[in-house]
Amino acid sequence: MTHPILSRIPFLGKLVDERFLDHRRRSSSIAGFATLILALCIFEYRLIFNHTISWDMAAIMLTFAVVKMSMFTWYRLNS
């Protein structure tokens, strides 16, 4: 089964299938976690070496946590 919009485009309908969409989902999840780890490392670096709390990095980590848990809850309740 292909994506309905992508199946309307003749050359993309054959290239995009369930495996492609699953790989895209997995890579996006890994990229999100990599961003979270990077933000945590920058937060810790600024806290340890500069002795300041980096509120921008804390906001990024909090946003990630809220969005991830919201999506877990949404998919759990609606599937």
Structure token digits, residue 66: 């809220």
- What letter represents residue 11's amino acid? F
**Taking a C-beta distance cutoff of 8 angstroms, is the pair 25, 46 a contact?**
no
Predicted confidence (pLDDT) per residue in 6-55, tens digit: 556 666 666 666 777 778 788 888 888 999 999 999 999 999 999 999 99
CB atoms within 10 A of CB 65: 11
Predicted pLDDT of residue 5: 61
CB atoms within 10 A of CB 55: 10
Give dist(CA 39, CA 65) in Å, integer.
12
